[in-house]
Amino acid sequence: MELSKVTMILRGYNVEQVRTVAEVLLHAKHVRNMEITLNTDNAYEIIRIISDEFQGKLNVGAGTVQTYDELKKAVDAGAKFVLSPRQMTADMLAYCKERGIVSVPGSFTPSEIGDQFAMGADIVKVFPANELSLKYAKKVCEPMGDLKLMAVGGINRGNVREALDSGYKYVGTAGGLFPKNQILQMDKEKMLISLQEFEAELD
């Protein structure tokens, strides 16, 4: 499975709200990944339901995956990719490889980034990216090669183009695509407008 450039991060929403986001993202060109974080109530059940309903239409994954046990539960629920705010263990990365799950562990320093790729990570999430210049990715890639890095933290419509032009191959965003109230109110009309405005920055 190949991830699209942009991952929509969903934390703290119920299944109806997540389903509404999924229905809106069916109209997206660049935002084809949905991440349900495990620190969401009933996260595994939401992943199971949304994976079943949108299989083959959107990439549905799990976020805030910090342990081997959480990883197994997320994959059993149907997650096709997994993100973590921190580095993943060798066992976690091997588990992902064996099952064809896209692994996106978190790192911050060049040493952490290099170690995670050496252990088999598919993509490395630089988190929190907004604590650094967005040019950080380019600086890391200059000596280390053309790395698949994802910026997470502070990504929004105003800087997504800059992030992707500055060395990041991917970005993840929680509140930078849809305002929280649009998701809570399940306002599809306004969400479609927000999606169009966001994606216009990427065309």
Owning domain of residue 17: 6-200
How many domains are contained in the chain? 1
- Report pLDDT for 38: 98
- Report pLDDT for 78: 98
- Report pLDDT for 1: 85
With a cut of 50, which residues of the chain have pLDDT below it?
Answer: none
- Report pLDDT for 196: 98
DSSP state of 92: H
Whether 42 is in a domain gets the answer yes
Whether 163 is in a domain gets the answer yes
CA distance 110 to 125: 12
Q: What is the pTM of this model?
A: 0.97
- Report pLDDT for 17: 98
Whether 142 is in a domain gets the answer yes
Beta carbons within 10 angstroms of residue 27's beta carbon = 13
Beta carbons within 10 angstroms of residue 158's beta carbon = 10
